[in-house]
Copies of this chain bind each other. A is one copy, B any other.
Amino acid sequence: MHPADTRTAILETSARLYADLGYSAVSMRDVASAMGMTPANLYHHFKNKDDLVRETVAHVFAEKTEPIAEMLEAESRDADRLDLFIDHFVRLLTGDRVFFRFLVRELVDGDEGRLDDLAHTVLERPFRLVSGLADIRQPEEERFLATVSMIGVILGHALLAPLLPHLPGGHAGFADPTSITNHISAALRHAAASDLETK
């Protein structure tokens, strides 16, 4: 196999395994046998396990940076941009379970350095977009918290999705991305309408 292909294939295999089981629960032998190769060969492509983990995290996030940037530049009208962002972000988090699990894992486990990487490679651009669309008349703290709530409520929906069938009155259908998108968009329009009337 061509070298670059093998390297990428390893990263995608290990990404799936790490997302499912966590870094320390997945051995080099696990990754190797999932790839149909010998563990020793992994050490030809990566210095050691820590290197493989870091490269895998970087690979998973790098893959998502481009689509997010494209989405942000696709639409120009503010209201549409926010709706579009919500739609894309919900679909990204609920659709790609590997990416979502890496994101949460890094948020919960990451040290300062890894959090800094995460902030700049994945979340900074969406954050700037949402923050820029917030009501400019609000104080800075209010605007910042509103942005966190916006991103946070989408993260929260993705996080709670697997739990919904176990809650009273819930079933898996409520985790449908379209339902979530519509609901959040509607709630946002309500809040905006209320804002206009009370100010």
Complex Cα–Cα for A49 and B63 (A): 37
Cross-chain contact of A194 among B107, B157, B160, B193 (Cβ < 8 A): B193
Which one of A8-16, A35-43, A138-146 is at the B interface? A138-146
A160 touches B167 (CB 8 A): no
Say yes or no: is A50 at the interface (Cβ < 8 Å to chain B). Answer: no
One digit per residue, 1 when the CB lies within 8 angstroms of any chain B CB and 0 when it does not, for chain A 75-118 equals 00000000000000000000000000100110111100001101
Complex Cα–Cα for A124 and B164 (A): 10
Interface residues on A, range: 35 or more
Within 8 A of B (CB), among A163-194: 163-164, 166-170, 174, 179-180, 183-184, 187, 190-191, 193-194
Cross-chain contact of A156 among B116, B140, B148, B190 (Cβ < 8 A): B148
Using CB atoms, name the residue of chain B closest to A120.
Answer: B166
In the complex, chain B residues whose CB is within 8 Å of the CB of A163? 107, 115, 118-119, 123
Say yes or no: is A70 at the interface (Cβ < 8 Å to chain B). Answer: no
Say yes or no: is A5 at the interface (Cβ < 8 Å to chain B). Answer: no
In the complex, chain B residues whose CB is within 8 Å of the CB of A170? 144
For the complex formed by this chain, how many copies does it contain in all? 2
Complex Cα–Cα for A28 and B120 (A): 37
Complex Cα–Cα for A108 and B124 (A): 23
Query: A140 to nearest B CB, angstroms?
Result: 7
Query: A31 to nearest B CB, angstroms?
Result: 15
Say yes or no: is A67 at the interface (Cβ < 8 Å to chain B). Answer: no
Some 21 contacts from A to B, beta carbons below 8 A apart, are A22-B23, A22-B24, A101-B108, A104-B159, A107-B163, A119-B166, A119-B167, A123-B163, A123-B167, A124-B168, A127-B168, A128-B168, A131-B169, A149-B153, A149-B184, A152-B152, A152-B156, A153-B153, A153-B156, A155-B160, A197-B197
Question: With A152-B152, A159-B152 in contact, is A108–B115 under 8 Å at CB?
Answer: no
Query: A134 to nearest B CB, angstroms?
Result: 11
